[in-house]
Structure 1
Amino acid sequence: MNAVLDLDPPTRLAIAYARSDIRSAFALLLQIDNRFADILRNSREPMIAQIKMAWWREAFASAAETRPKGEPLLQALNETGGRIPLSALEALASAWEHLLGHEQFSQEAIDTHSELRAEAIFKTYATWMGSMDDMHPIGRSWAFETLRMGFPERFADCTMPSAPLPKARALRPLSILTMSVRTGSGLRLILHALTGV
């Protein structure tokens, strides 16, 4: 999908390490997450942004054949054949909706946002892998750091505890995402992708 090219290189690296049968669904989740971040970033009027988010929620909840045509991400969603659970899509929408209308993000708003994004992306991926490991801690850490980097002007004095990376090879895409916001070194990230260290 061309929309993958809109994602940053570390995210594309994480997608490349995903198992082939769920790679497109994983990429789509990250693309939708990126689209929702853009809605927040470009919103001048919170009400307009809320209307856009409501449109997405309605599209997610609709049957594939009745979803609006002409939106590539919805077309891709139809092609995943239900691989992405509606609960994950709703959690992702809620994560970004929670920040609408906030000139400054409070600790509470960031905590809720990070938990919902961890639920939508990290827990969903772990479920696909059949992992019983709790991916919420690193998912929250990743969500916190990506939000801080994407919206530095809206961050107050907020903190998020770090969490250990998973060792399992099957969960390497999640550790790549998390490592990507912890290190500024591309070589360090590549080494981690190759070895898990």
Structure 2
Amino acid sequence: MDTLFALDRQLGNIVRTTEQPIVGQMRLTWWYEALEKLDHAPPPAQPLLRALAGLISEGRVAGRDLATMTEGWEVLLDRERTAADTLTQFAHLRGATLFRAATALLGEDDPQVAQAGALWAFADLAANVSQEAIRDQATAAALDLADTVFGARWRGARPIGALALDAYMAAAGRGFANGPRRAARTVRFRMIGR
């Protein structure tokens, strides 16, 4: 799990530290190609790719699937694209892909996993973007997904669902990070799936 989220942080850092979109696109393309190659070639001498290659060699995730996350991050490099459908594309390519890979590592699945990943990506974007319009759109999108994600009882993948629940509570302004209210709600979810 740490390795998957390290990949997400690596891709996010590319977007965060890029001043010229073309440079960011080139860096993300390098990661896309490197991740795809992990399915059929040994990894280069890059620590994160070596760690991911271990997961891929176990057959738990595929490099081509992880490469999809780069496409999600690339959406944010286009400063002109702030429409809700663009943010939805980002959330699904980044968050849904990440959460599906995480549930594969757990050997579990749940029908809400992809939507939970999108909710998490929206909430994470809202918490970390400086542009107010994008922050407002991402927050609204996260809150809109809550009924879909948490409307039915989770049978499996509860640790992954708990990540989405915490992100939802942050976006909704419910409790403080690491506070008793959010901790109690997360424990309840992990125990009963609601």
Same fold (TM over 0.5): yes
CA distance in 1, matches of 2:69, 2:132: 20
The reply to whether residue 194 of structure 1 matches residue 187 of structure 2 is yes
The reply to whether residue 175 of structure 1 matches residue 175 of structure 2 is no
The reply to whether residue 68 of structure 1 matches residue 44 of structure 2 is yes
145-154 vs 122-131, greater mean Cα deviation: 122-131
**8 Å contact from structure 1 (residues 105, 154) kept in 2:** no
Instruction: State the identity %.
Output: 23
Match of 1:142 among 105, 114, 120: 120
**8 Å contact from structure 1 (residues 176, 189) kept in 2:** no
Higher relative contact order (CA 8 A, sep 6+): 1
Aligned to 1:113: 90
CA distance in 2, matches of 1:95, 1:145: 15
CA distance in 2, matches of 1:195, 1:47: 45
Shift of 1:179: 2.3
- How many residues are matched? 171
Instruction: Indicate how the Cα distance of structure 1 residues 43 and 94 shifts in structure 2: closer, same or farther if over 3 A, else same.
Output: same
Structure 1 runs (4+) greater than 6 angstroms displaced: none
Structure-1-length-normalised TM-score: 0.74
Structure-2-length-normalised TM-score: 0.75
What aligned pairs does 1:117-136 form with structure 2 within 5 A after superposition?
Answer: 117-127=94-104, 128-136=106-114
- Give CA deviations for 1:24-64 in whole Å, capped at 9, x if unaligned: xx222211111111111110111111111111111112247
The structure whose residues are more often helix, as a share, is: 2
The reply to whether residue 36 of structure 1 matches residue 11 of structure 2 is yes
Query: Which ranges in structure 1 are unaligned for 5 or more consecutive residues?
Result: 1-25
CA distance in 2, matches of 1:72, 1:154: 36
**8 Å contact from structure 1 (residues 114, 139) kept in 2:** yes
- Give CA deviations for 1:75-131 in whole Å, capped at 9, x if unaligned: 111222242223431221111011112166321210101111233122333445343
